[in-house]
Amino acid sequence: MKETYNKKTRTLGSFEVNIVSPKLSYTEYELLKGERLYTDYWVQFPKADTLYYINIENYDDIVENNTLIIDQDEYGTFVYANKAGTAKLTVREGSKDGKSIGTITFVVSEAPCEEIIPDLYEYTTYEGDLNFNIYFDLEPWNTTDTVIVTSDNTDVLSVSYNEDYRCFDYKVGKAGKANVTIKCGDKSAVVVVTVVEEEE
């Protein structure tokens, strides 16, 4: 770089400019079934005002048949690990026929439940208890198996799944006993709940 002042020119120094092409942050990624990965920051050094198109190889028109599913929510675009398997995803500039930025190989696996560990195997509560809960841990904690909790006496204790909070709600009824079965994959545990009459 040079500077001219009063018809005199002097050298101030030099600098180097490197023009880097867009590239993917990774070429391989592992997900557990049920996990999701948002597409933010997948492309390093993205071009300004350029959209990037995501294509999954051999994508089936029947969405449920795919290892990966592309979806959106209020937080952005993401891939959802729908079932165990391997899927290749290509990112292109501008459109589905644009220049390829690269390919990511996703490996989706399952984590079967190995054990259910209740905090207690016996609970005692009172009629109408609004704060009753049953606590338990799963091994591994991030198992991909579905958890199901049921009661054999819904007059004493009923169980429902809260979709909004992704937890189980327990409604205490009349005095008596209920066996609550927690199932996860091929594992199960039984917790006994005794409801007593509320003292006057």
Considering the domain architecture, whether residues 173 and 100 belong to the same structural domain is answered as: no
Confidence of residue 4 (pLDDT cuts 50, 70, 90): low
Confidence of residue 147 (pLDDT cuts 50, 70, 90): very high
pLDDT, the chain, mean: 91
| Three-state SS letters, 157-188 | EEEEEECCCCEEEEEECCCEEEEEEEEECCEE
Give the domain extent around 146: 115-196
Of 151, 162, 135, 137, give the one whose Cα is nearest residue 195: 151
Considering the domain architecture, whether residues 103 and 27 belong to the same structural domain is answered as: yes
Within a domain: 13: no
Task: Give the C-alpha distances (Å, rounded to integers) separating 160 from 106, 121, 157, 165.
Answer: 34, 20, 10, 12
Asked if 76 and 70 touch (Cβ cutoff 8 Å), the reply is: no
Q: How many domains does the chain have?
A: 2
The residue whose two tokens read 């290509």 is 90
Q: Which residue among 64, 83, 109 closes a domain?
A: 109
Within a domain: 153: yes
pLDDT tens, 172-187? 999 999 999 999 999 9
Confidence of residue 13 (pLDDT cuts 50, 70, 90): low
Within a domain: 142: yes
Asked if 58 and 85 touch (Cβ cutoff 8 Å), the reply is: no
pLDDT recorded at residue 81: 96
Q: How many residues does the chain have?
A: 200
pLDDT recorded at residue 5: 60
pTM above 0.85, yes or no: no
pLDDT recorded at residue 197: 93
pLDDT tens, 57-82? 999 999 999 999 999 999 999 999 99
pLDDT score of 200 more than 60: no
pLDDT score of 48 more than 90: no
Q: Which residue among 92, 109, 126 closes a domain?
A: 109
Considering the domain architecture, whether residues 103 and 128 belong to the same structural domain is answered as: no
* Cβ neighbours around 35 below 10 Å, total: 14
Of residues 9 and 120, more confidence is placed in 120
Within a domain: 138: yes
Within a domain: 104: yes
pLDDT recorded at residue 15: 60
Return the CATH number at 171. Answer: 2.60.40.1080
Angle at 36 between CA 30 and CA 40, to 5 degrees: 95
pLDDT recorded at residue 3: 58
Question: Percent of the chain scored above 90 by pLDDT?
Answer: 77
Residues 157-171: what's their mean pLDDT? 95
Considering the domain architecture, whether residues 123 and 170 belong to the same structural domain is answered as: yes
pLDDT score of 10 more than 80: no
Of residues 7 and 180, more confidence is placed in 180
CA-to-CA distance for 7 and 14, rounded, in angstroms? 21
Within a domain: 3: no
Residues 102-115: what's their mean pLDDT? 96
Within a domain: 67: yes
Asked if 177 and 156 touch (Cβ cutoff 8 Å), the reply is: yes
